[in-house]
Amino acid sequence: MSAKVWLVGAGPGDPELLTLKAVKALNQADIVMIDDLVNPAVLEHCPSARIMPVGKRGGCRSTPQAFIHRLMLRYARQGKCVVRLKGGDPCIFGRGSEEADWLSEHGIAVEMVNGITAGLAGATTCGIPLTLRGVARGVTLVTAHTQDDSSLNWQALAQSGTTLVVYMGVAKLPEIRESLLAGGMRADMPVAMIENASLPHQRECRSSLGAMQQAAQNFQLKSPAILVIGEVAAQPNMQLAAISA
């Protein structure tokens, strides 16, 4: 059997949001290397696999990326079925493509399996449509956290007319707020902050761009959370719901 690694998205947390393909890969796995944000409940699909936690939450004890690369390579070359399991989707702020490129360069075949990314799951579980006819013609996924401190073009984002979904933003709320206000976004633009999306302890805090920092503080918003910024964050529209009920 030729060496192969599966790069699999575990989804946002709710084990029922795993894809059938992810379940199939887990079923076949000998080794499963998991990130911090993966809900361990999904491991019921690989009862006999060896589980290796290799998470690296920002600022905490971390497993160097080079070490993860070498581990995947070693086990794949031993002919083991290796599943690299990542929270959400492997290629949305998940370094999936970096790992795939590295493995390919070392002669290992890679199969990627999508997962439901946290931004989509968070919005949907709160009833927020990220696109909405006549309201939001698009959606932009951004991270507030960069390795090199390079800055996003917040002005372009503020004026894009698309819904913004911000990952890794909890520690950067003041900067996000300031940058979007400076870029011309209205202070009363609706914002939803969704913590632990799709999990039983999910919490959501609705606010506005101008008030979001204070609201998050009162709410004691914690990571992992996503921010949805845009007109759609006022959805579901309770008035409409009441009329149609």
Note the residues at the interface with ligand SAH (CB under 6 A).
Answer: 12-13, 37, 86-89, 92-94, 117-118, 122, 167-168, 194, 196-199, 223-226
Catalytic: which of 14, 35, 80, 212? Answer: 35
Cβ at position 173, least distance to ligand SAH in Å: 12
Q: CB within 8 A of 227, min separation 6: which ones?
A: 164, 165, 166, 169, 176, 191, 192, 193, 194, 212
Amino acid at 204: E
- Nearer Cβ to ligand SAH, position 3 or 8? 8
Catalytic: which of 4, 21, 24, 56? Answer: 56
* Pair 141, 132: CB distance under 8 Å: no
Which secondary-structure segment (H or E) carries 8? Answer: strand 4-9
* Pair 87, 8: CB distance under 8 Å: no
- Nearer Cβ to ligand SAH, position 27 or 124? 124
* Pair 117, 10: CB distance under 8 Å: no
- Cβ-proximal residue to ligand SAH, closest one: 88
Active site residue 148: no
C-alpha distance across the termini of the chain, in Å: 58
Active site residue 35: yes
Active site residue 149: no
Is cis: bond before 190, omega within 30 of 0? no
Amino acid at 38: V
Catalytic: which of 33, 168, 189, 212? Answer: 168
Which residues does the annotation mark as catalytic? 35, 56, 168
